[in-house]
Amino acid sequence: MRMGLPILIFEYELHSYDFIYDCGMFHPLAPHRRLTYLIIIKKALKKDGYFGIVCFKTEGALSTPDWDIYNDKSIKGGIGYTKESLKKIFDSDFNIKEFKE
């Protein structure tokens, strides 16, 4: 069972990045990989750093509930996110400035 891309282990200085931009790494991650993803982003960003992300929305990919991903053993090409689902994932760790389609 292969779900999502592997999380690569790489070296970086803690809290050394002013800006981290993700274009296409988040939507193919299996739900359990989101935790490691968030930990890496938070550890790499400076205190007042910025994080930008581009990912599939539900019009471009299925909005598959986490349980269905594990039950079906597939992310079906990537997970689509609504504004609300992204808020649920990121809001407790980041100060969301804006959403753009």
pLDDT at 100 over 80: yes
Residue 6 CA, distance from chain mean position: 13
User: What pLDDT, in 10s, does the model give residues 15-72?
Assistant: 999 999 999 899 999 999 999 899 999 999 999 999 999 999 988 888 888 899 999 9
Q: How many of the other CB atoms lie within 10 Å of CB of 80?
A: 18
Q: Quickly state the pLDDT bin for 96 (edges 50, 70, 90).
A: very high
**11 within domain boundaries:** no
**9 within domain boundaries:** no
* Number of domains within the chain: 1
Instruction: Residue 37: give the domain boundaries.
Output: 17-90
Q: Quickly state the pLDDT bin for 79 (edges 50, 70, 90).
A: very high
**Rg of the Cα atoms in the chain:** 14
Is this model's pTM higher than 0.85 or not? no
